[in-house]
Every structure is written in C-alpha cells, then in structure tokens.
Amino acid sequence: MRQRAPIARFVVTNALVWLAMTVLLVVVPEALAHWIDIQVARVLGWALACGVWVVTVEAQWKARYGPLARLALQFVLWVAAALTAMAISDLIHP
C-alpha cells in the first residue's frame, strides 16, 4: 500500500497544480479564440485543466479523502480557479 505524502508536500503540490490550472484556463481560450468561439475555447481549456488535475494529484486526494469530501473541496478549488481565470481575462480585455 502506498503511503500518503506529508501534508505540507500535498498542499504545495496542489497549490502548484491549481496555479497551472488557472494559467491553462486563461491561456488556452486566449490562444484558441482566433479560430473558434470563445465559449468552446473555454470548455477546451477547462477539459485540459481538469485533465492536468486528475493526472497529477487525484490519486493523492483519493488516498486522503472520501468521495463527498473530494467533491466539496475540489468543487471549491476548481470554481476558484475558474473565477480567478475570468478575473485575469477581464483584466487583459477590459
């Protein structure tokens, strides 16, 4: 059985992945907006950002939390990433 990473490492890893998700949620739609509708570009950015989360930290979350706790905590983190990305996009394109 795999041991859980220390809490500090877990938090730092998640913070870095959250930052990467936020960047993807800004960069991908900006890069694709010239070729496709912005709403579709945002969906593609969201799919890529979620994929990064799942590949990098989901196993650690499963080792620490049950499904309902994961749902609640990840919902808050992912919505925060999306709102932060929207705010950044609004700053770029007032």
| Residue 94 to residue 89: CA distance in whole angstroms | 8
> What pTM value is reported for the model?
0.86
**CA 61 → CA 10, 24, 48, distances in Å?**
9, 21, 19
pLDDT in tens, 41-64: 999 999 999 999 999 999 999 999
Which residue pairs from 31-36 have beta carbons closer than 8 angstroms and sit at least 24 positions apart in sequence?
A: none
Indicate the domain borders of the chain. 15-92
What pLDDT score was predicted for residue 4?
66
